[in-house]
Structure 1
Amino acid sequence: MDYNDEKLVQIYAQQCHHGSSYIVGNLQGLKELRDAIDEAIRTGQSDALLCPSDNELYDVKVRMLNADEAEKIELIQMPYTEQYGPKNENFYYEHKTDDPKAPYPPSHLFK
């Protein structure tokens, strides 16, 4: 595999609150991710097709919440990979709501 010909990006979520997250990639991959972010700023959402070092393609979905929908971020799962709470749900949901269906997965924000 020629790593210079691929759009390589590996995204690592925070392990827990206040932890660091990491984005590591080559020039082509980081430019593709940047372009997807720029497009989401212009249009509201976008996608980038990237791959990690094992060359297994994956889609990165980028969504910008407008000012009138910013509160939706409180209705999606926390991004942490560490286990929190009494259930094995792999997220810590700190935003309390009366909605019994919350928290939603982040895919809920995409059309």
Structure 2
Amino acid sequence: MKNEKYPICHLYAQKDWADDGHIIANKEGLERLRNVIDLALEKGFGRAVFWPSDMEGYELYIACVSEKDINAIELPYTSDDCPDSGKMDKMYDLFPEKVYEFRK
């Protein structure tokens, strides 16, 4: 990606119930996020590489799942004060071994 702007994207999860979640990104990051969402809508799953501002790249996986599946997975809260979702399926189990990758 030499001479290109990196798709920088910060994802901030909800800490507790009713907290706000945030996505903060540069234009390239938002465009890549939109494209990988479109890929997941078309194929069911998608992934793409993003960077936070410290340039430690990460892969973001996106899944378009059924209502049954979304109601069976663990809740996304980050606080230890939220109820344990130990009986719920881990969200990682929804993804197949190979996921379509958006590359640009």
Gaps of 5+ in 1: 86-90, 94-100
Deviation digits for residues 69-108 of structure 1, max 9, x if unmatched?
32111221110111136xxxxx643xxxxxxx73222111
User: What do you get for the CA RMSD once the two structures are aligned?
Assistant: 1.7
Task: Provide the rounded CA distance (Å) in 2 between the counterparts of 1:24 and 1:12.
Answer: 8
- TM-score using structure 2 length: 0.81
Gaps of 5+ in 2: 97-104
- TM-score using structure 1 length: 0.76
Task: Provide the rounded CA distance (Å) in 2 between the counterparts of 1:25 and 1:103.
Answer: 31
Residue of 56, 77, 95 corresponding to 1:80 = 77
In structure 2, the partner of 1:97 is none
Structure number with greater Rg is: 1
Task: Provide the rounded CA distance (Å) in 1 between the counterparts of 2:61 and 2:51.
Answer: 13
Structure number with the bigger relative contact order (C-alpha 8 A, sep ≥ 6) is 2
User: How many positions carry a matched residue from both structures?
Assistant: 93
SS in 2 for 1:10: strand
Query: Percent of counterpart pairs with the same letter?
Result: 28
Partner amino acid, structure 2, of 1:79 = P
Task: Provide the rounded CA distance (Å) in 1 between the counterparts of 2:14 and 2:36.
Answer: 21
Contact 1:11 1:23 in 2 (8 A): yes
Task: Provide the rounded CA distance (Å) in 2 between the counterparts of 1:80 and 1:18.
Answer: 10
Quote the offset at 1:36 in angstroms: 0.4
In structure 2, the partner of 1:104 is 89
Deviation digits for residues 16-67 of structure 1, max 9, x if unmatched?
11100000000001111110001111110100110101101101101001xx
After TM superposition, the structure 1 = structure 2 runs for residues 7-18 of structure 1, keeping only pairs within 5 Å, are 7-18=7-18
Contact 1:76 1:102 in 2 (8 A): no
Runs of at least 4 residues off by over 3 Å: none
Partner amino acid, structure 2, of 1:20 = D
